[in-house]
Amino acid sequence: METKEAFRKLMPEFLGVFLAVLLMGIVLVTGKVLVDGIPLTFSDIVQFLTLVVISAALFVAIWVQRRKEKFDRSLVYLKNGIELVEKAKRVLIRDDGSVSNHRVDWVTAARLISRCQLIVDQIDLDPHKRIFESTHDYFRHDLGETLRKDKGFQNPAFFLGAEDTEKSLGEAACDPNEPSDTRKWIPREIVSTIIRFIQYPPGYDDPLSKSTPLNKEELEKLWLDEYQAVMTYLQFRDRFYKVGGKVNGRTRNGDIEKDLTPNQIDSEMRGVHGVFSEW
């Protein structure tokens, strides 16, 4: 198996050498004919064209092989990157769904994420890069929501590795039952690595930035597809907004009114629910 794999990897080099020899022969023959004016017979022309076709076929074979190798290599990086992200999550989240506050778990997860970032930087193909970005977006949401919902994680004492995460920072730091040094405290660099990975960075290329509101034809189609509630909501959003706990908006007659009551809002919207209207 190793011999076959080595031969497969060296095949493009063999083909490249053969192609170079053929091209050199074609150039020499062409030069000889042009310089010396040697007449070509029909068989000579056929042989010459055969060499050209073989050379073209070899060139295409080399190009295809190189593209395949690039695709396979990029796919391996993609799969490994996704696998490392999933492993990092499994390290941080216990079987019962709670978040681990053990220093070793956070250090391991941070290392996995750092390795992941090094690997995905090697991805060559844009489709594979976009697939990983989609996975990264899901990871941001999934792990981010898990962290926010975990009661222990919401207490700063969590990061001291305290068993009782309901203690205050002072109580956890001074607890005589805890180690006399910071061996259980999660390092700032480790926390930063994980938090940075689940946050959207500055300059994030959000695919939603290219999204636009539904046009008139699309809105009219909502009625035909029985999405009247969606249409009504979109019309509502076009006309009303909320600031400081008060709803303001433009009514049907074009007036701008502030601090609208529920009855006023429902009365305005009642006329458009179930019927397409360009208010």
Q: What pLDDT is recorded for position 90?
A: 94
Mean pLDDT over the full length of the chain: 80
CA-CA distance, 120 to 131, in Å (whole number)?
A: 11
Residue 22 has pLDDT above 80, yes or no: no
Distance CA 168, CA 148 (A): 18
Q: Partners of 26 in the beta sheet?
A: none
Name the pLDDT band for 7 (thresholds 50, 70, 90): very low
What are 48's two structure tokens?
């010459």
| pLDDT over threshold 80, residue 218 | yes
* Structure confidence at residue 278 as a pLDDT band (50, 70, 90): low
H-type alpha helices, the chain: 2-36, 42-92, 103-120, 126-149, 169-174, 188-198, 216-224, 228-239, 262-270
Q: Could you tell me the two tokens for 142?
A: 């999934």
pLDDT higher than threshold 60 for residue 97: yes
pLDDT band at 129 (very low <50, low <70, confident <90, very high): very high
Can you tell me the distance from the alpha carbon of 169 to that of 165, in angstroms, rounded to the nearest whole number?
9
